[in-house]
Chains A and B, each alone.
Chain A
Amino acid sequence: MNRTGIYVLPLVAALGVSTAMPAFAQGVLKYGMASQDLGTMDPHRATSTPDKPISGWVFNGLVRFKPGSDDIGSLEPDLAESWESNDDGTEWTFKLRAGVTFHHGYGEVTAEDVVFSLNRSADPDTSAFSSDYAAIDKIEAIDPLTVKITLKQPIPSLLGLVANYHGGNIVSKKAAEERGADFATQPVGTGPFMVENYVPQERVTFVANPDYFRGTPKLDGIEYRYIPSDSARDLALRAGELDVSYGRQDQEWIDSVGRTDGLTVDIMRPAELQQFHLNTKSAPLDNIEVRRAVATALNRPEYIQFIGESLAQPAGSVIPAGNLGWDGSTPIYGEGDAEAARKMLADAGFADGISLKMVQTSLPNMLSVAQVAQAQLALAGIDLQLEVVDHQTFHAEIREDRSQVVYYSAARFPVADVFLTQFFHSASIVGTPTASINFSHCDVADDEIVRARSETDPEVQRQLWTSAQKKIIEHICAVPLYEQLIAYARRDNVEWGYDLQAGMHLGPIVTELTELR
């Protein structure tokens, strides 16, 4: 389908389409998403970009990210009114807001629902995020409006685990038990919008929750349309059949939409870090001088030019900027010095150059970046052999250690521990029983990562994370290329009702204040 986009974009741009027709709907926000269909609306299972925004409309956490923000330091009360913890941060008590009700008549939110929800998030059979909750010892309902969480050891951000994100979303116990697998299409939460109807391959419709505890939403509802073709979404937006649309993530599209009357592009965090992971146990990459040569031959500024400055920003570390604990003080290779790289290779005994195997997804945006890298490395006598496969095959192959260089694009919960653990702790090395996504087989910062996890002094914790990043960069386990933001387009009459800088749900959150003017 992406070929369609290639043909259409210049066409649309060249014809200078500008149809400032009024939107059909008065009070229903029509939101177009690049997907064939719904995956799941169960917030504890929603891991894909198209599924995540829904969680933000239907559910609440005990605390929440301010709408439009991804700052873990400014979490604010959501279903919990207040909270306190003991000195070492192992016992947390939350007081719930009274009188908050679940959608569709499922009654008031009680401590029981919170206990049920968090236990559900911690259970690998019901949650995709269970490993995030490994440090929780027990969750108890002290009284109907008080919940106590006891941890086995302190963790970097307990509040993050109970925020309106992933496993922190609170579901109705009664509804989840009653509906079982159907909860994925008939979820029950407390958020500003409730699910009314799901039509496979077409749309999910939401209606405003009149009893929402922050006030009745200004919108009557949301129509979430599944439109996989980039060009069809563009045309629908221009024809006024959509109010908001997931963008094509490239500069050409941004410029084209930006030039159109009546349309605005929203660019938001979280930034996905685009990174090359180098397998440090696979010859010739097991030689650090060879890795240094690869890193030196890569030209990082060129990626920003290639992707476009609206969407791409420089990467300063091996974890995404904005993560709690991020440190950009260690210099990273990647100046694109082919001569120096050749010399490094020759000094390491590879005067004739080297060849590296890279299993690469056929997703067009990622493939083109890999091709840029291929061209850059070729200048230094490094033959990057791309084996292009479809996206699921890619995910399977890289987990079986079949790729010497893995290009991975990721954003995670914004605390350094998550990214560092998944990508750079030895327990996460692919192919091991505890494997996650450590493709580089990096194990140089285990000590710092583990100690930082339960360190209660924020300053010491920060130093440990800084030291971990420094070691990983200096050991050249990975070369961060750039960071990519997310682009959406909307009609000018859409007012989000807050300052949109970021969306933890990978899309603009629609709140009770969002309106169509």
Chain B
Amino acid sequence: MLRFAGQPLLTLIPTLLAVLTLAFVLVRIVPGDPALIILGDQATPEAIARFHERTGLDQPIWHQYFAFLSQLAQGDLGVSMISNRPVLSAVLEVLPYTLELSLAGVFVGVVLGVPLGVVAARSNGGPLDWIVRIFTLGGLSFPAFVSAVLMLLVFSVWLGWFPVISSGKPITDPWGRFMSLALPALNLGLVMMAYVARVTRGGMMNVLRSDYIRTARAKGVPARRIVWKHALRNVLLAVVTFTGLYFSVLIGNSVLTEIVFNRPGLGKLVIGALERRDYTLLQGLVVAYAVLVVLVNALTDLCYRFVDPRVKT
């Protein structure tokens, strides 16, 4: 178990270092200057120079890099260049929103996707199969920001069921929080649902053709039991792998959903930091994303153990 938890942590460090170095260099070689954001477009070179001095941007880049690393080693992500607020608290403030949205998206994706895939596989070429295939193709090819706006138009503006602005409701208002999460999660989960349904369908088709299923059938095990117990369990491994991989993608995809539904979150923070050339905040966000992805991968590994008894520590 220790090895299990330790391994991802060991890979975390070099991964993080590589990603950070890349991010650190990239944001600085892109033209643009946070000084112009703070000081305005009429800033004089003198004022800009003073800003650079104050924020350390006048130092050579390697100097800034090592200063940043030594700060990071002490668990300090620094302060935002634009707002002067600690980066860590800016990230932590919105992290729950992104996690909540991504998890809810995965939930929607899996809970809807797996049964759809199973139903399609059982129908195999029949009308249900076709319906699911067309439906999932729609899910894959519909841009998320278009579906988001359509959902808002129908469910929020016309029907008035959900708020248009799904911004953070306090945890003390669980119903409000749920209502503001529902549409964004559905929107985010629909694409994933389409993928999951396809993965499940493909896996099922293969498994249902295999020998042990034929044996089970010959022994007279009810069809329903064969599908949901014997076959699905083998397909789930592929679904878990996919979900783990896709979860990282989902965290990235949440950007558009966050913007259209106006939810706070990491994605919105990244866009804002990029637009304003907030180097320190961007670096902090890269750390946050890298940590998240590594954690998700570790969790995926952990899930294997439950799904597939052959995976031993």
Contacts and interface: CB of A to CB of B under 8 A. Distances in A.
A4 B36 contact: no
A282 interface: no
A324 B50 CA distance: 33
B83 interface: yes
Interface of A: 1, 3-4, 7-8, 11-12, 15, 17, 19, 21, 36-40, 45, 47-48, 124-125, 128-131, 181, 184-185, 199-203, 225-229, 231-232, 235-236, 238-239, 241-242, 389-393, 395-397, 410, 422, 432-437
A389 B82 CA distance: 22
A199 B149 CA distance: 25
B36 A392 contact: yes
A26 to B, nearest CB: 18
A47 B43 CA distance: 10
Contact of A201 (B32, B46, B94, B160): B94
B242 interface: no
Interface string B30-57: 1111001111111111110010001000
Interface of B: 30-33, 36-47, 50, 54, 82-85, 90, 93-94, 145-146, 149-150, 152-153, 156-158, 160, 163-165, 167-168, 259-262, 264-265, 268-269, 271-272, 275-277
Contacts of A397: 31
B259 A228 contact: yes
A37 to B, nearest CB: 5
A226 to B, nearest CB: 8
Contacts of B31: 389, 392-393, 396-397
User: What is the predominant secondary structure among interface residues of chain A facing chain B?
Assistant: loop
B260 A4 contact: yes
7 contacts: A4-B145, A37-B272, A128-B40, A227-B262, A232-B259, A389-B31, A395-B41
A45 B157 contact: no
A19 B36 contact: no
A200 B32 contact: no
Give 5 closest A-B pairs by Cβ, nearest first. A47-B40, A392-B32, A36-B272, A396-B31, A201-B264
Contacts, number: 163
B172 to A, nearest CB: 15
Contacts of A227: 165, 262
A434 B94 CA distance: 41
A254 B167 CA distance: 27
A236 B30 contact: no
A435 B45 contact: yes
Contact of B163 (A200, A203, A241): A241
Nearest to B164: A236
Contact of A47 (B41, B44, B50, B165): B41
Given A1-B259, A124-B47, A435-B45, A239 B149 contact: no
A430 to B, nearest CB: 9
A391 B262 CA distance: 22
Contacts of B45: 432-435
Contacts of A4: 145-146, 149, 259-260
Given A11-B150, A124-B47, A229-B259, 16 more contacts: A7-B146, A19-B157, A36-B271, A39-B83, A48-B40, A128-B42, A129-B40, A201-B264, A227-B262, A231-B260, A232-B149, A235-B156, A239-B160, A389-B31, A392-B32, A395-B36
Contacts of A125: 50, 54
A184 B80 CA distance: 13
A39 B260 contact: no
B149 A231 contact: yes
Nearest to A200: B93
In this complex, the member of A199, A239, A389 whose beta carbon has the largest number of chain B beta carbons within 10 angstroms is A239
Contacts of A391: 275
